[in-house]
Structure 1
Amino acid sequence: MSADATNPAAQGPVSPAAPRRRTRPRIDLRRLGRAALLGPAARDRLPDAIGHVAEAHRAHHPDADLEPLRRAWVLAESSHRGQMRKSGEPYITHPLAVTLILAELGAETTTLTASLLHDTVEDTEVTLDQVREEFGEEVRYLVDGVTKLEKVDYGAAAEPETFRKMLVATGSDVRVMSIKLADRLHNMRTLGVMRPEKQARIARVTRDVLIPLAERLGVQALKTELEDLVFAILHPEEYEHTRELIAENTARADDPLTEVAEEARRILREAGIPGEVLVRPRHFVSVHRVARKRGDLRGCDFGRLLVLVNEDADCYAVLGELHTCMTPVVSEFKDFIAVPKFNLYQSLHTAVARGDGQVVEVLVRTHQMHKVAEAGVVALGNPYSPATDPSAPGADDPGDGERADPTRPGWLSRLLDWQQAAPDPDTFWSTLREDLAQDREITVFRPDGGTLGLPEGATCVDAAYAQYGEDAHACIGARVNGRLATLSTVLRDGDTVQPLMGQDPASEPSRAWLDHAHTPAARIAIQRWLASHPAPAPTESADRGAAPRPEVGPGDDRAPSRAESPRAGTASRPGPASVVVAGRPGASARLAGCCTPVPPDGITAFPVRGGGVTVHRVECSAVAGMRTGGRAEVAVHWGDTTECRVTLLAESFGRPQLLADLTEAIAQLGVEVVSATVAPPMRQRVRHTYTLQLPDAARLPALMRAMRNVPGVYDVSRTQPNPPGR
């Protein structure tokens, strides 16, 4: 991937992060252009002008059939003959350069064939029917998709609809966008012939739209070079300063990264681990970011070490050896092998400290991981060919949720869903721009072992919609790392999140959720629901000052009063479970309201005026206080009667019909509701207090379990009953 001489950044090493395994000389596009003017080669051999493409292609696909490339070259060259670029070169040099970029990344033959032809339908007399007849439906589809992208208007006023068209064109096959990205990269390399204002406009669209998409497609090799080219155009002074910093570092006699790399090679040799240790210089934008973050740069800040090994297990073996023989910076360790990024990226990240205090970042990955890290979806091969190795990139893995369709990564499927669900283009565009602007993603775990990729700053609301789609309207809360959490809780990388879903079909999202939604999926789903369910007009009573119903969760669940509570105040059979007072036949025993003991609780008692006793649970906090105060204890035990009365507190998230569901769960166990009250909701939580008459105290554990199993209830405990009249 060579930089064109007309590129404004071509005076310096624009893309130091590009792959360095290349051993053949750089391609001279002008020489290839002159070769193109000589006309098509004989039909019995591959034209010399695309020999470099064939060489790069065979390096990744040794058994590839080159005949489609030969025929595509013949058609493209003859169709574009006589057309010139603004730089003065024959036009055919452009599709040739785009195809070479993709071949270097490892694209399969069909993609390269479509790349050679990607401008023919737009700029020549060739038709899509001709492409289909000569090369088949798959190539025709790719060429058509790229052609549609070429017709997109990138003007500011057209941005929302522009992006919709791009997604529709890309959605069925990511290879369309792969060709578009390579096309944009070559155009950016040769942008110097354009007027400055046009350069800036194209660079801004590249920055805002295409670079984020390259990131999500995992094509880091294209992304980093595009970033540097945009940087050179939009921030020329900062670019020049960064170029000077890199030049000064390159001119230094000693290179600490080289020294650490040699030490790492020695460690691997002594451990018997086959692998390569490379110094991987940072590209311009990366150096600029590090300089802004750390201030003065030292030698180790200009690059990282890349360790390439053969097997996954070797990655962890290398990590262990480096951490044993060097000084690790534990806070820098991340395992993207066990938990790959959303764009297929896998590596171990760590850092080690030198004796002089410099910190060296280290990436450890297999050769196959490196290929995918550089080329992303381009490295997946033909997505329509069944993978022979189920562990190979591109093989379907229904368990990860991201590659069910090999032509459409999970995030792209979600984008297509968003653009269909958004109530209007502006809503779609604003939420999508926010999503594309996210530089970092986090991975959270589901209790079933699955994972969710979310942008940094995502909340439990976002996790619910990422996992359940529009069914998340029924979400009533969440648990994070096993503990109850509000829907507004911000998630951290590595958290385990479990959205708690209600079962009421009438459940609905709260407008307040928009304040906590961070992802387009969540925001668009909530906005769509709100748009289709406008708030009701105020009633006459409300106009006269009646209090509005409070929003407490997915629905407007107001706290029912005591009179509204089912069976509130119902008369019950009198008397608690029988208690026998030792040495005091016939003495009355009253169960203490502070701990409401029931069989088979361990109990004790203390005498009260009138000759009776008050019975407490042994572990009641009041017992310790009375013992300390010298109060005499009376021995008691449960009698034969096991009927008892108990007060339970159920804590829950607010939702419609919750009180009725709780009462039904209680009734199914043959327990009578003496009274039921609901405290006013606070922060989406509701407290229900029940005084219950149990025909058998042994049913209490089962009763409490049944109440906890009611959707929305997160805790049930025994408590003191409310005093009469409250």
Structure 2
Amino acid sequence: MSADNAVETTRAADGRKRLPRAADLRRLGRAALLGPSGRGRFPDAIEHLAKVHRARHPGADIDTLRRAYVLAESSHRGQMRKSGEPYITHPLAVTLILAELGAETTTLTASLLHDTVEDTEVTLEQVGAEFGEEVRYLVDGVTKLEKVDYGAAAEPETFRKMLVATGNDVRVMSIKLADRLHNMRTLGVMRPEKQARIAKVTRDVLIPLAERLGVQALKTELEDLVFAILHPEEYDRSREAILEHATGPDPLAAVAEDVRTVLRDAGIAAEVQIRPRHVVSVHRFRLKRGDAELGGCDYGRLLVLVGEDADCYAVLGELHTCFTPVIAEFKDFIAAPKFNLYQSLHTAVADRGGRIAEVLIRTRRMHLSAEAGVIALGNPYAVAETPDAEDGERVDPTQPGWLSRLLEWQRGAPDPDTFWSALRDELAQDREITVFSADGGVVGLPDGGSCVDAAYSLHGEGAHACVGARVNGRLAPLGTALRDGDTLQLLMAGSETDTSGPSPEWLEHARTPGARIAITRWLDAHPASAAEDEPATPALRTAAAVLAPAADPVAETDPPGAAVRLARCCTPVPPDDITGFVIRGGTVAVHRTECPTAARMTGSGRASVPVRWRTGSGSGYRATLLAEALGRPRLLADLTEVIAAQGVGILSAAVEPPQEHRVRHTYTVELPAADALPALMRAMGAVPGVYDVYRAQRVAAVQA
């Protein structure tokens, strides 16, 4: 068999390359056993691999691939797959899948060797000595843990190991995804129950990981293969609808030609393709449409490829000018890329005949990233060339916040079952939002993530000290669901008052496994703290230290025999501006001049009585202060402690029931001196969670 004929790369109707299919790879596998080619340089089995690789990487070290293949073939010799094929066909197929997606030489080398350590006598030390530390690391990353050592925990612990390795090098997961794709293609030889088990793990873990790494070419085929196993009837219906649609003329072809004409007349160099929907995509579209039949334009989308970013917007302008745009379908993933490297403009337009076509607009570079994700980056860990980078610093252009978050919480997962359940919950989130921290940081969260989730994503277990948040500059409860583009400022307790911790209620607001695991671990370690977070009861509404009231007369009136008392609605203290009103029994009630009660009495025609502060008064000044705060454990204790530290006695205290996680404390205090009030208010305002402290100004009933 000649090298050029070993595998024929298929193409779709739109000219798009398809990944090599199982039948082609079986032919290539058989070539693996035929020995060296006539030219004596490469085995026939990898001649096509070398050709594909050099097309994307002209300067690639093909000799390294040859040596890796020779080691893999010799070590797997005699081993057979359940399908009856020589085992070497599997690593060869996995490597060709990656080569078609543009993977660089190190990834392909590790891919050829990825099962040698697990299934043969080859050791990691041998791999490292022969091919270098990077290849050794990648092979180790995808090597499964032995069931004999881990029992039922082998699968979750293998994924934990693989994800940790991926945190240092995303190429580990690239190899795993290609490995799972080839295994899914050949799953038909397994028992039905085993097919279903593998398909469910692929659905719950591998497909979401492919989505997050942006490898759409692998993700879409995996989705179809899983769908065929788990939902065969729905798969057949959607596939039959696609086949029936393919028997007639495609109305998208006419729309595509109109688009080409419009762009050509506008002088925009662009390539217009038709992108058929895959089976799962058609199924989802049918569910979206309900019982309505799909139209001819619903089985695919138009793809417009251009050279530069600016051309994308030029195309968009022409389409929205010459066709009728469906504005609700417009999305700009160029200005705001998705978390998985994806960039594109999405729109939909209707032509003169009323046919609606979805259109994707992107550059060729964006298209490569959309299809192959992190694989298209080549080696994403090349030594940084930026002037401020340190020697040997590894830069990850993907900066996958979801991966950092996953690696953070997995360290706290106490057992394999918790990890496995939390991993699936994490990956089940359909989309991510981007939240901007007030200190300049950026955090990615699942859609619907709360301030609690953001706190643990940004600070790990340091988020235990979070006492409040501002969202877009406004105070908000910690349970607030964040939206894409929100700006978040977290209010943290200082170290000197770091006696607070998460409330059990936080678990209701936590959507990320990292937050839930950290909160649960803290609550388990502090069982007594949960009681402190209950709503205030009558017993808690009175502070522990209640002092006897001091004498009221600290103000005097111009007549030497009138009784004077301070109004409780505003509790004035020197040097407040004050005014008095005679009430029942001839007593003069003293109010602050800005008190609403005083203003209302003046407005109703009540005559005021001139009053002034008595000079030389030593003590007995009362004030009523209100502290508004975000509810948290120990807030009452922290406020009373701060008040006592200022040398101020508490006459009474009340805590109103929380409303939307906000609480209001009211304290009537006795000051040692009039000038002690500003310092007291500043100290109360510094308590974590307190966002406002002010003097009482409530409207009170006026005694006649």
> Per the shorter chain, which TM-score range?
0.7 to 0.9
Q: Which amino acid aligns with 1:489?
A: T
In 1, Cα distance between the equivalents of 2:215 and 2:236?
26
In 2, Cα distance between the equivalents of 1:677 and 1:593?
14
Give the Å deviation of 1:222.
0.6
Instruction: Quote the residue 2:3 is aligned against.
Output: none
Question: What CA deviation, in whole Å up to 9, does each residue of 1:674-706 have, x standing for no partner?
Answer: 745132553654422244688999998887566
Give the Å deviation of 1:16.
7.2
In 2, Cα distance between the equivalents of 1:621 and 1:336?
57
Given candidates 499, 505, 508, the residue that maps to 2:501 is 508
Q: Which amino acid aligns with 1:117?
A: L
Given candidates 361, 381, 385, the residue that maps to 2:382 is 385
The answer as to 2:521 corresponding to 1:528 is yes
In 1, Cα distance between the equivalents of 2:698 and 2:263?
70
SS in 2 for 1:37: coil
SS in 1 for 2:143: helix
Instruction: Quote the residue 1:299 is aligned against.
Output: 296
In 1, Cα distance between the equivalents of 2:610 and 2:331?
60
Instruction: Quote the residue 1:49 is aligned against.
Output: 45
Given candidates 454, 457, 477, the residue that maps to 1:486 is 477
Q: Note closer, same or farther for the CA distance 1:227–1:639 as it changes in structure 2 (3 Å cut).
A: same
**Do 1:200 and 1:234's aligned partners in 2 also have CA atoms closer than 8 Å?**
yes
Instruction: Quote the residue 2:249 is aligned against.
Output: 253
Higher relative contact order (CA 8 A, sep 6+): 1
Q: Percent identity between the aligned chains? A: 68
In 2, Cα distance between the equivalents of 1:613 and 1:79?
99
Q: Which amino acid aligns with 2:278?
A: H
Q: Note closer, same or farther for the CA distance 1:579–1:48 as it changes in structure 2 (3 Å cut).
A: farther
SS in 2 for 1:649: strand
Q: Note closer, same or farther for the CA distance 1:707–1:113 as it changes in structure 2 (3 Å cut).
A: same
SS in 2 for 1:511: coil
Give the Å deviation of 1:376.
2.1
Q: Note closer, same or farther for the CA distance 1:501–1:333 as it changes in structure 2 (3 Å cut).
A: farther
The answer as to 2:36 corresponding to 1:40 is yes
Given candidates 397, 408, 416, the residue that maps to 1:425 is 416
Question: Under a length normalisation based on structure 2, what TM-score does the superposition of the two structures give?
Answer: 0.80
The answer as to 2:277 corresponding to 1:282 is yes
Instruction: Quote the residue 2:406 is aligned against.
Output: 415
The answer as to 2:134 corresponding to 1:143 is no
**Do 1:40 and 1:78's aligned partners in 2 also have CA atoms closer than 8 Å?**
no
Q: Which amino acid aligns with 2:596?
A: C
**Do 1:689 and 1:721's aligned partners in 2 also have CA atoms closer than 8 Å?**
no
Instruction: Quote the residue 2:435 is aligned against.
Output: 444
Residues 590-599 or 126-135, more deviating: 590-599
Give the Å deviation of 1:283.
1.3
Give the Å deviation of 1:238.
1.1
SS in 2 for 1:714: strand
In 2, Cα distance between the equivalents of 1:723 and 1:571?
21
**Do 1:309 and 1:315's aligned partners in 2 also have CA atoms closer than 8 Å?**
yes
Give the Å deviation of 1:422.
1.6
Q: Which amino acid aligns with 2:688?
A: P
In 1, Cα distance between the equivalents of 2:62 and 2:107?
12
Q: Which amino acid aligns with 1:463?
A: A
Question: What CA deviation, in whole Å up to 9, does each residue of 1:624-678 have, x standing for no partner?
Answer: 6864x5x26769899999999653311113456645755687799x896674513
**Do 1:559 and 1:681's aligned partners in 2 also have CA atoms closer than 8 Å?**
no
Give 1:507-586 correspondences, 5 Å limit.
507-535=500-528, 549-552=531-534, 562-565=542-545, 571=550, 574-575=553-554
Q: Which ranges in structure 2 are unaligned for 5 or more consecutive residues? A: 1-9
In 1, Cα distance between the equivalents of 2:202 and 2:273?
30
How many residues are aligned here?
Answer: 683
Given candidates 369, 373, 394, the residue that maps to 2:370 is 373
Give the Å deviation of 1:208.
2.6
Question: What CA deviation, in whole Å up to 9, does each residue of 1:170-192 have, x standing for no partner?
Answer: 45433222112112211222333
In 1, Cα distance between the equivalents of 2:612 and 2:39?
102
Instruction: Quote the residue 2:689 is aligned against.
Output: 712
In 1, Cα distance between the equivalents of 2:490 and 2:562?
53
SS in 2 for 1:39: coil
SS in 1 for 2:338: coil
Q: Which amino acid aligns with 1:470?
A: E
In 2, Cα distance between the equivalents of 1:608 and 1:159?
81
In 2, Cα distance between the equivalents of 1:21 and 1:259?
23
**Do 2:569 and 2:700's aligned partners in 1 also have CA atoms closer than 8 Å?**
no
**Do 1:444 and 1:452's aligned partners in 2 also have CA atoms closer than 8 Å?**
yes
Given candidates 94, 113, 117, the residue that maps to 2:113 is 117
Question: What CA deviation, in whole Å up to 9, does each residue of 1:69-114 have, x standing for no partner?
Answer: 1222333334445554444444433222211110111111001011
SS in 2 for 1:177: helix
SS in 1 for 2:103: coil
In 1, Cα distance between the equivalents of 2:20 and 2:79?
30
Instruction: Quote the residue 1:341 is aligned against.
Output: 338
Give 1:24-35 correspondences, 5 Å limit.
28-35=24-31
Q: Note closer, same or farther for the CA distance 1:161–1:146 as it changes in structure 2 (3 Å cut).
A: closer
CA RMSD, Structure 1 to Structure 2 (Å): 4.8
Question: What CA deviation, in whole Å up to 9, does each residue of 1:316-363 have, x standing for no partner?
Answer: 454455445544444444444444433333334444455666654443
Q: Which amino acid aligns with 1:682?
A: P
Q: Which amino acid aligns with 2:344?
A: S
Give 1:388-407 correspondences, 5 Å limit.
388=385
Instruction: Quote the residue 1:185 is aligned against.
Output: 181
Instruction: Quote the residue 1:542 is aligned against.
Output: none
Q: Which ranges in structure 1 are unaligned for 5 or more consecutive residues? A: 1-13, 537-547
**Do 1:475 and 1:500's aligned partners in 2 also have CA atoms closer than 8 Å?**
yes
In 2, Cα distance between the equivalents of 1:17 and 1:199?
31
Residues 258-267 or 377-386, more deviating: 258-267
Question: What CA deviation, in whole Å up to 9, does each residue of 1:109-156 have, x standing for no partner?
Answer: 001011122233444454434333322222223223333369799997
Instruction: Quote the residue 1:474 is aligned against.
Output: 465
Give the Å deviation of 1:200.
3.0
In 2, Cα distance between the equivalents of 1:619 and 1:322?
64
In 1, Cα distance between the equivalents of 2:683 and 2:268?
57
Question: What CA deviation, in whole Å up to 9, does each residue of 1:53-80 have, x standing for no partner?
Answer: 2233233323222221122233333444
SS in 2 for 1:382: coil
Instruction: Quote the residue 1:653 is aligned against.
Output: 630
Given candidates 219, 222, 228, the residue that maps to 2:218 is 222
Question: Under a length normalisation based on structure 1, what TM-score does the superposition of the two structures give?
Answer: 0.78
Q: Which amino acid aligns with 2:103?
A: A
